Every structure is written in C-alpha cells, then in structure tokens.
Amino acid sequence: MSNTDTDESEDILKDLKIPPAPDIVLQLQQELRCDSPSLETIGDIIQKDAAISGLVLKTVNSPLFGLRATIQSIPQAIMLLGFSYVGNIVQGLVLKQTLGQGSALPPRFWESSSNMALLMAALSKRLLDCSADEAYLLGLFHNVGHAMIAQRQDDYAGFIAANDNDPEHALTRIEDDFYNFNHASVGYYLARNWGLPEGLRNIILNHHQAGEFLEREDGSECEQAMMAILKMAEHIERHHSGVDPDHEWERERDAVLGHLGLSEVDFEDLQVEVLDQLMMELN
C-alpha cells in the first residue's frame, strides 16, 4: 500500500467509527512500555475484569497452547509466560467485548475467530520460532474488519455469503469493487489504533494476497512465516466448518506449503492433529 493509497483509504474509513483501544488495553500498553514493568500492576489491571481474567486462564490452559503445567492464576501466567505474552492474549480477548454482536456479521464470525486464534497458537508452536501469543492475536484480529463493516452495512452478511469463496477473485477485490474499501484495510486501521505491532498489521492488510507477500525479497522472515501459518489455519478452520472446495486455499496452497517446506502429506497429517485438539477444546 503506497502513501497515497493509505491516505485515500483512511479518508474512506473515517465514517466507520473505528473504536480506540479500551482502557484495559491502554493501561497494559502503558505499563509494558516502562523500563521495568510491574508484575503486580499488570496483574491488578487484568484481574479487575473478572470475565477477562477467566478467559485468559482458559486460553493459556488450552491443549492447543501446548503448556506442560496448568496455570492457576494471572500472576502465575505472567511469571511463566511473560508480560507481553499475557498482554497480547488480553488484547485479543477484549476485541470481542468491544465490537460485540451484530445481525449483519457473517455467520459463525466470533466462533471462527476464536478457532483461528487457537489454531494459530498450535501451528506456531509446531512450525515457527515466532511467539504463540502473537500468532493467537493475529488469528483473532485478522478478519476484524468484517465486524467493523457489519456495523455500517446491513447487507454485509449476505454479501459475504455470496462472495467469500469466489473461485476466481479474493474477497478484498470484490469488496473494493462493491464498497470502495475492504475488510483487510479496515482491520489494518483498527489494529493500528489498538497498537498492534507493525508486522501483524502488515499481515492483516495483505492476508488475501498471501502469495505476493511470501514472494517479497525484502520481507521479514517471521512475518512471512506467520502469514503462511495464517493461511493454513484459515483453510483448516474452513474445512472444519464444511467449506469445500476452498478456492483461496487452492490458489495459495503451493506458495504457502513451499514457504514452510511442507508436502501436502505433511500438511494433511498436521491438519488432522490440530483439528483433533481443537475438537477436544470445543467439547
């Protein structure tokens, strides 16, 4: 995206009312920027919200996160996993609280986002040196633009149902033609408002152009690897929800698997493994 494109997109998106980061996220970010963040302060910020505290513990104890010991408290989570790790999980969990529900949302939107986050954590643990918490955060945030557009466009759920698995074109291209903006751009600006790392924002912006993103010679290896597992997780989640064939996966599969050095057999085995774990989590 060039500077001109960014300026034009930002003008178009102003009336979408992209929300600022909630107080709990701002407080955590402020404390994490300190030279010596306080475990007690961060624990207090999180534990003030009982619902978020419970969800953090449920999340980090998921089999898909692959931790060997059960974490019993927020301070224990911070001590074992680190400040940023727990902060990223909180940020992702607050997202649903902030944007809420809506009749124009695509069916299964939040269920799919939660599944994606867990699948991303599991795949990152198996395939990458990148942090599982950032992968989890990306899984929750990558399609957040859908929720933003649904607040403005009453017909959006129907639009997604008609165009989400187009055999020829990426959804973002169809959205650009129809609305003059797309969910990836909207998600990018919300992620920027919420202070997500630039690398994650770049993936959100480009996640429907994965092949081009993976071919960039000047790209960050960690960002490209995270993009690759994002596309794998998307396909696994879509397979889980009954989407067949998955046309975008068919377009991007060779680039994704090639980047990670996986064969199709390797991927099929991995898909079975993480889907089994996801089903354990859901049951």
Specify the CATH number for the domain of residue 158. 1.10.3210.10
Say how far apart CA 145 and CA 163 lie, in whole Å: 16
Per-residue pLDDT band for 99 (boundaries 50, 70, 90) equals confident
By the 8 A CB rule, do 183 and 149 touch?
yes
List the single range of 105-114, 221-230, 245-254 with lowest mean pLDDT: 105-114
Q: Let me know if residue 113 belongs to a domain.
A: yes
In a domain, 155, yes or no: yes
15 pLDDT tier (thresholds 50, 70, 90): low
Amino acid 168: pLDDT: 95
Q: If we measure between CA atoms, which residue out of 249, 196, 247, 248 comes closest to residue 223?
A: 196
Phi and psi at residue 216, to the nearest 5°? -65, 125
How many other C-beta atoms lie within 10 A of the C-beta of residue 235? 21
Residue 165 in domain: yes
pLDDT at residue 107, as a whole number: 75
Query: Using an 8 Å Cβ cutoff, are 252 and 231 in contact?
Result: yes
- Tell me the pLDDT tens digit for each residue of 236-275: 999 999 999 999 999 999 999 999 999 999 999 999 999 9
Check residue 71 and give its pLDDT. 92
Percent share of the chain, pLDDT over 90: 48
92, part of any domain? no
How many structural domains compose the chain?
1
State the pTM of this model: 0.86
Q: Contact at 8 Å (CB) between 28 and 48?
A: no
Residue 75 lies in a domain: no
- Angle ∠(37,89,240) on CA atoms, nearest 5: 165
| Residue-range definition of the domain harbouring residue 128 | 3-20+103-282
Residue 257 lies in a domain: yes
Does some domain include residue 132?
yes
* Contact assessment for residue 75 and residue 34, using Cβ atoms and an 8 Å cutoff: no
